[in-house]
Amino acid sequence: MSTWYTTLMQDANSPLMEQLMMFHNHSMMILSMITIIVTYMMYSMMMNKLTNRYLLESQTIELMWTIMPAITLIFIALPSLRLLYMMDEINKPMLTIKSIGHQWYWSYEYSDFKDIEFESYMKPTGEMSKEEFRLLDVDNRIIMPMNTQTRMLITSADVLHSWAMPSLGIKIDATPGRMNQGTININRPGLMFGQCSEICGANHSFMPIVIESIPMNKFINWLKSN
């Protein structure tokens, strides 16, 4: 979970987020190398008072500074395309959950097993216990089984919203009249916190998302109890 002293990304809780973090580190390494080289070249050119007369209008240098950026972009583009296909790929999901954005709360539907529907509102500060998080906890959490291929269907009932869960590496726009989908596969049990990531009105900041990941046998018992 992100806290006030967090400077990096949240800990990954899905294979997709792990790959996204690896790609982030890969890209930052390339950008750092480029920044160091360019900074050194600019510093040496400003401090050096000598002139190389063979450097003007050199076809070899123009060829090199065209080829090298192209190769660098290839090293960034190939992992990026691989990640894009991973994000879109859904192979026979075991569970489908539908989320509908409203002003200003989320509603959820489990329609695979039985008609389970509920609304998820942010908990008021006066109703919270000491171990709950202000402006992040909700009255009804999303219950998901761990290590299960889950498909999220996202839409909106009024205006644009965005269903985002940073620790899972997923962010899906909720558009009125359109159904968007994404894949979730949670590595371990626990609580994950997200929020609406599209400015949707006055209470945009007060429609959090909470996922509670539990083992499959406890998930089945939860379904039976509802």
Closest CA to 194 of 142, 116, 117: 142
User: Does residue 72 form part of some domain?
Assistant: yes
Mean pLDDT across the stretch 7-36? 87
CB atoms within 10 A of CB 189: 15
List the CATH number of the domain containing 32. 1.10.287.90
Q: What distances in angstroms separate CA 55 from CA 36, 42, 52, 64, 67, one per listed residue?
A: 22, 15, 5, 13, 18
Last residue of a domain, one of 42, 58, 88: 88
Mean pLDDT across the stretch 62-82? 89
Last residue of a domain, one of 42, 71, 88: 88
Same domain? 50 vs 137: no
Residue 135 has pLDDT above 90, yes or no: no
Query: What pLDDT score was predicted for residue 3?
Result: 62
**154 against 114, higher pLDDT:** 154
Same domain? 191 vs 82: no
User: Does residue 9 form part of some domain?
Assistant: no
Residue 104 has pLDDT above 60, yes or no: yes
Q: Which domain holds residue 116?
A: 95-225
Query: What pLDDT score was predicted for residue 100?
Result: 92
What is the DSSP-derived secondary structure letter of residue 3? Answer: -
Residue 221 tokens read as 């018992």
Same domain? 80 vs 112: no
Same domain? 83 vs 106: no
Confidence band for 4, pLDDT divided at 50, 70 and 90: low
Same domain? 102 vs 214: yes
Residue 106 has pLDDT above 90, yes or no: yes
Confidence band for 28, pLDDT divided at 50, 70 and 90: very high
List the CATH number of the domain containing 176. 2.60.40.420
| Percent residues over pLDDT 90 in the chain | 24
Identify how many contiguous H helices and E strands the chain contains and give both numbers.
3, 10
Residue 60 tokens read as 């070899």
